[in-house]
């Protein structure tokens, strides 16, 4: 009987100091949950692309100081957990690398939410 490897502790990531609000707006929560839902529903063959696109989107919000880097990474990795246990070749290391890569690229295009429209 083969057992899945034990979950590794998260790797510390150095990131610029962030002053993301402690309480997220309903609009920001909807954006984050929408990305998490896409990742959780990703079908085999689309896992990596879907996860990368979600990380890119949240990376823009991290760079816009709307969301903390560690929170974004943690939420995406939690949503992608099924990719390791499901019928997929994904590893926890690959998931972390994809998330970090997407967050990094997203950070090149900061996005701020319009508080008046939300």
Neighbours of 55 (CB within 10 A): 28
The pLDDT profile of the chain, 118 residues, written as one tens digit per residue, is 455 555 554 444 444 444 444 456 899 999 999 999 999 999 888 999 999 999 999 999 999 999 999 999 999 999 999 888 767 778 999 999 999 999 999 999 999 987 655 4
**How many Cα atoms are found within 13 Å in the side-chain-facing hemisphere of 58?**
33
Cβ contact 62:68 at 8 Å: yes
Is this model's pTM higher than 0.95 or not?
no
CA 48 to chain centre: 12
Q: Where are the domains of the chain?
A: 26-106
């Amino acid at each position: 009987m083969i057992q899945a490897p034990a979950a590794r502790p998260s790797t510390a990531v150095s990131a610029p100091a962030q002053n993301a609000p402690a309480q997220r707006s309903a609009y920001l929560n909807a954006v984050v949950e929408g990305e998490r839902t896409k990742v959780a529903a990703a079908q085999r063959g689309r896992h990596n692309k879907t996860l990368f696109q979600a990380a890119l989107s949240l990376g823009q919000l991290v760079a816009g100081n709307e969301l903390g880097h560690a929170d974004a990474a943690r939420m995406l990795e939690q949503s992608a957990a099924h990719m390791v246990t499901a019928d997929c070749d994904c590893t926890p290391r690959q998931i972390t690398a994809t998330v970090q890569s997407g967050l990094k690229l997203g950070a090149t295009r900061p996005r701020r939410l319009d508080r008046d429209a939300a």
